[in-house]
Amino acid sequence: MGSNRAPRLVIAAALLLLACKWNLTQAVLHPTVEQRVNECLSGTIPWPGPVQVNPDSFRFAVLTDPHFGKSDTLDVTGIRAEFNRLGVDFFLVLGDLVHDGLADEYSLAVAMLDSIGLPYYSTIGNHDLYQADGWQQFKERFGPSCYVVTVGDQLKLIFLDTAEGAIGPTQFDWLDDELADTTVTKLVATHYPLYDGSMPGPYRLSSTAERNKLQHLLTNHHVPAIVSGHVHAWRHTAVDGVDHFIAGSMSPGALDYGDRGMLVFTFARDSLAWTHVPFPTH
């Protein structure tokens, strides 16, 4: 009898611990991707405007998964120095800005990212929703999770909300419309990747059909690249004419899976070139 009880007690204790750490009601009651996207597209959350760049040539970095709260030791000075060295004009942060979705973590995230001193665009990750008010915190501090910004009148950055590993009907329809624009180069940025190499982990969009449909849209609309995070590792996978990038995590310490770094894109005369830049290890 005692041996039968032991596993149940362990599971109950684990659930209790998780319930204390994360708001587990959030697991099923959080605003769905459909609700968040509808809010983003309704105009109630102001979209960020385009940064001022030299339209003939500009450069931006892609950072992801800082997990502020878990890792509050981001080397802002080092990142700023690297940005200066590379001539980065602005940067993207692709979700998991905070670790447990707490208000204090959001405050820290804003302070740290602002202190880098360059304009940035962000989207949401799964960790950002780990509290009942996670979405509220995110949109108040960072704005929409699903939006478009066209930089230098030539590069359309399309941010997708994949915080639950899903895209949803409204966002698919909206994406199809946004991708139909043939006058600009398009880049899709999101948290969850479509593919993550051969790892057997749950680190990609949940549905096979959804992955296939998104890949079809990207190919059909001649999108050169999609950038994502979530995996905490650096990946580059070419699929049917589309470059799939997973930028290495910003997170040091326990969340560093050995691929800390960032992607740097250079846009010049309709062409988009990329390079992966590892973070310096101290």
Give 163 or 179: the residue with its C-beta nearer to other proteins: 163
Return the range that interacts with other proteins (CB under 8 A); candidates 24-32, 49-57, 249-257, 268-276: 24-32
Return the range that interacts with other proteins (CB under 8 A); candidates 4-12, 27-35, 44-52, 253-261: 27-35
CB of 126 to other proteins, least distance (A): 4
229 near other proteins (CB under 8 A): no
C-alpha to C-alpha distance for 198 and 212, rounded to whole angstroms: 17
22 near other proteins (CB under 8 A): yes
The number of residues that bind other proteins (CB under 8 A) is 53
Q: Please give the residues from 134 up to 163 whose contact with other proteins meets the rule CB under 8 A.
A: 163
Q: Please give the residues from 83 up to 142 whose contact with other proteins meets the rule CB under 8 A.
A: 126-127, 129-130
41 near other proteins (CB under 8 A): no
Hey, what amino acid is at 172?
A: F
CB of 118 to other proteins, least distance (A): 29
- In degrees, rounded to 5, the angle at the alpha carbon of residue 43 between the alpha carbons of residues 123 and 92 is 20
Binding residue (CB under 8 A) for other proteins from 210, 255, 268, 272: 210
Binding residue (CB under 8 A) for other proteins from 60, 135, 195, 267: 195
Return the range that interacts with other proteins (CB under 8 A); candidates 67-75, 177-185, 205-213, 252-260: 205-213
Question: 230 and 96 in contact (C-beta within 8 Å)?
Answer: yes
Q: Report the interface residues with other proteins, using CB under 8 A.
A: 18, 22, 24, 26-28, 30, 32-33, 126-127, 129-130, 163-173, 192, 194-200, 202, 204-213, 215-216, 219, 230, 237-241, 244
